[in-house]
Structure formats: structure tokens, C-alpha cells
A and B are shown apart, each in its own frame.
Chain A
Amino acid sequence: MLENIAFLQSDFFTGYIQPVLVITGYVLLLVVPLILAMAYLTYAERKVLAAMQLRQGPMMVGPFGLLQPLADGLKLLGKETIIPSGANRVIFVIAPMLTFMLALVAWAVIPVNAGWVLADINVGVLYLFAISSLGVYGILMAGWASNSRYAFLGGLRSAAQMVSYEVSIGLVLVCVLLTTGSLNLTDIVMAERDWWVDLLLFPMFIVFVISALAETNRAPFDLPEGESELVGGYNVEYSSMTFALFFLGEYMNMILMSGMTAVLFLGGWLPPFGIEALAVVPGVIWFILKVCFVLFVFLWARATLPRYRYDQLMRLGWKVFLPLTLIWVVIMAGVLVYAEALPNMAGG
């Protein structure tokens, strides 16, 4: 007993073990709700699509089919993991893990409420941008390692698509940074903007949401998996949990992109339109509601829009969004300098 107390007071414990345990606790507090949200996003997607198509959606498992995600998860767990004999085994197995991991890791810097952030780093936006640009590797590796034509074509399509739309996402981020003067996500949420600056940012918000659809390979830009031509794309050869990791990684990326949209454009945890009276509702609730709204737009787009053709997708990325965002950066910078509305840069 005495030894235990001595251990608790030792340098090593207070300096290293204790912080690690605390941080692990915080990570779990963030990751467990996220995984639940991801499971129920699959449910929400089926329900929303069903409602828009005058169907009922999942109804059988549990009340209103609420236990359907769990049943699906169990089903996938119970299946056999098949690794094709011609596949490059190591890369084949690493690819889905990488996809899933990257989607989770990015949440480290997203503030869900005032001060509720795992790592409040100075370059939060750049970190998010870096992590979201890595998502392409999981898909590219899966496509190549499967040693299958369909999977490979899906991987290549996805790589070209994600690289193209990242350019416009980067320029949209520059526009946001011009109005906030900080790369820290908490500062970006707290930045006070005039109404006309918000108005100037609005077109960039639209561009960002559309690019987010393309970046997460969602309809109407879901060409990497275009089932009518590629029978499922980069993940044809995957089964069981390896498939589930891709599937869930895609949904996690959707939640991540919605979180980014909420933080960058919708004011994060702050009540909407700056209405003070609504501040009684806790910030987390506002954050979750905003994320849900953007997610609903994702699902809505899937139910409404037909899939783009590949050349149209590339045209939209390179010939419409790239010039538009590039010009908008110049316009915004010019207007902000002219109106002397640039945020105070000396503040750090």
C-alpha cells in the first residue's frame, strides 16, 4: 500500500503517466460519441433517403429500426475477411485502417465548445487541411493493392478527383483566414466579422460545401465507386471488417467535413445569427445541430442529384471553382484592405 502511494507521488507518475491517462480519457470522450454518430449517420441516411422517396426505410430491427446499425455491424463482423491471392497483402490490409484512422485523427483540433478541444494548436486549419488531403492514400492504396481493374480505376479516379478539389478548398480556406487573421480554430470561431464580410464569404461557403461533397466522394461526385460502371470501385475486393472500415471512414469523413463547415462558416458552438437569448442552450448542442444540418445537406444532395460525368466533374473543379476561388481571394483581400477591415495581425 505504501509503495503505491510513493508511486503516485513519484516524478514519473505526475510528469508522464497521469497526463497520458487524462489525455486518453479525453480522447475516448471524443471518439466514442463520434463512432456512435457515425453508426447512426448510416441509419439517418437510409431514413432520409426513404422519406424523400416515399418509402419507410429500416423498420424491423428495434423500434423504428433504431437497432439497424448495430445489426449491420454485427453482420459485417461475422463475415469472413477475404484477401485476394493476387493482392499485395500488407498494403491491402493497411489501406482501410489508414482511411479510418485519418478520419478520426483530424478531430483532435476541432473545438466542439468553448475550450473543448483536444489540441488547441496554432495551425489548426493547416492541420485539418493536411489530414484531409491524406485521405486519398487509403483509397489509392486499396485500389492498387487489390490487383483488380475495377478497384484500380476507382482508386485513380478518386485520386484525381480529390487532388483537384483540394485546390479550391485550400483557396476557400485562405478567404476565411483573411477575415480572421488566425490559423487557430477557436480564434476562427470567435472572430467577429461585420455583416458584409459574412456576405462576401457566402459564395465561398457554397463552394466549400460542394467541394466537400467531392472530397468525401459523395453523390453527386461518387464516381470512385460508381456502381453502374465500376461495380463498387476501389472497395470491390474488400469484405467483412476491412470493407466496414472503408464504409465507416467515408461517413466519418462526412462528419468531419460538416464539422469543418460548422467551425469555419457557421460559427461553431455559438448560437446562430448572434442571437444572445439562444445562448442558454449549451454550445455543444448548437455545434451538433449545425453539423447535423450540413450532414442533412449531404444526404439531400444524394437523394436529389444524378451523378456527374467524369469530364464534367473535372471541368467543375478546374475551370469553374479554381478561377472563381482564385479571383475571390483577390477580391476579398482588396475589399478588406480598402475598408481597413483586416483583422489585427499583431495580436498573434
Chain B
Amino acid sequence: MVTAGKRNWLPISKPTRPTGKERQQTMIESLFFYVLSGVLVLSALMVISAQNPVHAVLFLILAFFNAAGLFVLLGAEFLAMILVIVYVGAVAVLFLFVVMMLDINFAELRRGMGRYLPLSGLVGTVMLVEFFWIFSKWTSDTAAVAPHMRHAPLEVSNTHALGQVLYTHYAYIFQLSGLILLVAMIGAITLTLRHRPNVRRQEVSRQVDRHPKDVLRVEKINSGEGVS
């Protein structure tokens, strides 16, 4: 109904001082950014603090959604949609599936809290300090990284751009990650596959192959004699 042409979701860049309508736009964009990232951080906190694991998974889904929203704001709409399809549409469904079927005693869960708090707090603090330490010192050497980087072709939509780069320059790495996933999949199947000998299964081909003359016998029965 809006007859606007295709939108080009280019990254937000501010080459000159924004004026008038542009300033309005950036204001709304930053408003969206703060709302999305605020909800993202809050729901991430709820994931680890919720008592009920089902609630935790639902908050995780909310976190994924807000991350997808942030991707859209960045102009990476393809990544946003893939995030929703893969993580929310498939991975989190399986999480929820498993968590819902667990038989959990909530009172026991709460009791464990005090016992594990010192150790987990220690591990968490150490990791936090290390992260701060690393990221405050971390810079990338542009000259060293440059040969491994590719400029995204700007004149096409970012789905095309990703495809063009992924299937040409990074083809081997892409294939390698595909292979890793394949190995993981085969591993999961071999770990869980059990052959149970006495299970009755439906075999469609056998059912279709069955013929009346193989399984039916027409008997002519004379009265007073019965079947021999």
C-alpha cells in the first residue's frame, strides 16, 4: 500500500552534520537502539536469573529477537532474519521442547543456589576482569588484517553482497564450516541411534506389494462338510 520503492538498508553513516529531518531520523533510530538493547540486556539477565527454566528459555527467545532488531538497525537485514529463523525458529524450539519435558523440583533448585554461588561468582568475576583486560588493550593491526578482508560491494543488497563474498573469496572456509556441521550432525545421530530389534514398523512398499492372491484363498465349501 505504501508505494515506496525498495528500501536500501545501508548502514547508518553520518558524514556531515545532520539537519532537520535527518536529525529526527537519527533521534528515532537511537531511541530504537536504546529500547532494543535495553530489553536485550534485561532479558539476558533474566535468562540466567529466572527460577523456572521454561521462563529462562522464553527470555532467551526475547533476547534473540532484540538482537535481530539491532541487526536491522545496522542495515544487516539478512543476518537479522537468519538469526530469527535459525535460533528462534529451530534451536530455541528444541531447547524449549527438552526443558518442558524435564521433571524439575523447583524447591531443590533454589536450595542449590547458596551452595554454588561463591564458586560461580568467583569464576564469573575472573572472566569479567579478563575480558575487560583484553578488550581495553585490544587493537587490530590494519596492515596485517587487510589481506584477509573484503570490501562489501555496496551497490547491491546485503543478501547479494554476502553471497558474492561468501561463495567466492571465502569459499573454502565456508565449505569447512559446513563440513564441521555435518560431522556434528552425524555424531549426534550415531550417539542417539539405537537399533531395537522387536519394533513393528510400517513398510509402505511391502503393503503396496501385497496382492490379494498371495494372502487370500477362496475355498469352495460344500454344505454339511466344513473346511478341511
Number of B residues, CB within 8 Å of A:
40
Tell me the interface secondary structure of chain A in the complex: helix
Q: Are A29 and B96 in contact (CB under 8 A)?
A: no
- Is B6 positioned at the interface, with any CB of A under 8 Å from its CB? yes
Q: Are B3 and A126 in contact (CB under 8 A)?
A: no
- Residue in contact with B78 in the complex, picked from A23, A126, A140, CB distance below 8 Å: A126
- Residue in contact with A311 in the complex, picked from B7, B28, B157, B202, CB distance below 8 Å: B202
Chain B window 131-174, contacts with chain A (Cβ cutoff 8 Å), 1 for yes, 0 for no: 00000000000000000000000011111100000000000000
Q: Are A26 and B81 in contact (CB under 8 A)?
A: no
- Residue in contact with A140 in the complex, picked from B4, B6, B82, B97, CB distance below 8 Å: B97
Binding site for A on B (CB under 8 A): 1-7, 9, 20-21, 24-25, 28, 54-55, 58, 61, 77-78, 81-82, 84-85, 88-90, 93-94, 96-97, 100-101, 155-160, 202, 204
Q: Are B1 and A315 in contact (CB under 8 A)?
A: no
Q: Across the interface, name the chain B residue whose C-beta is closest to A156.
A: B97
Chain A window 1-38, contacts with chain B (Cβ cutoff 8 Å), 1 for yes, 0 for no: 00000000001101110000001001001100000000
- Measured in the bound complex, the distance between the Cα atoms of B117 and A253 in whole Å is 46
- Is A238 positioned at the interface, with any CB of B under 8 Å from its CB? no
- Is A159 positioned at the interface, with any CB of B under 8 Å from its CB? yes
Q: Across the interface, name the chain A residue whose C-beta is closest to B65.
A: A134
Q: Are A348 and B202 in contact (CB under 8 A)?
A: no
30 A-B pairs (CB sep. < 8 Å) = A11-B21, A11-B24, A15-B20, A15-B21, A15-B24, A88-B54, A91-B54, A91-B58, A115-B1, A117-B2, A118-B2, A120-B2, A120-B7, A122-B157, A123-B77, A123-B159, A126-B85, A129-B85, A133-B88, A136-B89, A137-B61, A140-B96, A140-B100, A141-B58, A156-B101, A159-B93, A159-B97, A163-B90, A166-B89, A348-B160
Instruction: Specify which of A119, A120, A122, A127 lies most central, judged by the most chain B CB atoms within 10 Å of its CB.
Output: A122
Q: Are B93 and A26 in contact (CB under 8 A)?
A: no
Instruction: Specify which of A123, A141, A163 lies most central, judged by the most chain B CB atoms within 10 Å of its CB.
Output: A123
Whether A134 touches B81, Cβ cut-off 8 Å, given contacts A121-B7, A184-B6, A348-B155, is no
Whether A123 touches B100, Cβ cut-off 8 Å, given contacts A117-B2, A144-B54, is no
Please give 18 more A-B residue pairs, beta carbons under 8 A apart, in addition to A133-B84, A159-B93: A11-B24, A16-B28, A115-B3, A116-B1, A118-B1, A120-B5, A122-B6, A126-B82, A127-B81, A134-B84, A134-B88, A136-B89, A136-B93, A144-B100, A152-B100, A160-B97, A311-B202, A315-B204
Q: Are B24 and A12 in contact (CB under 8 A)?
A: yes
Whether A134 touches B89, Cβ cut-off 8 Å, given contacts A91-B58, A120-B7, A140-B100, is yes
Which residues from chain B contact A11 at a C-beta distance below 8 Å?
20-21, 24
Q: Are A312 and B21 in contact (CB under 8 A)?
A: no
Interface size class of chain A, counting residues whose CB lies under 8 Å from the partner chain: 35 or more
Q: Across the interface, name the chain A residue whose C-beta is closest to B97.
A: A159
Residues facing B in A148-164 (CB within 8 A) are: 152, 155-156, 159-160, 163
- Measured in the bound complex, the distance between the Cα atoms of B90 and A119 in whole Å is 25
Q: Across the interface, name the chain B residue whose C-beta is closest to A30.
A: B1
Whether A130 touches B89, Cβ cut-off 8 Å, given contacts A120-B5, A144-B54, A144-B100, is yes
- Measured in the bound complex, the distance between the Cα atoms of B1 and A30 in whole Å is 9
9 closest Cβ contacts across the A-B interface?
A133-B89, A126-B81, A15-B24, A130-B84, A348-B156, A26-B1, A115-B3, A122-B157, A130-B85
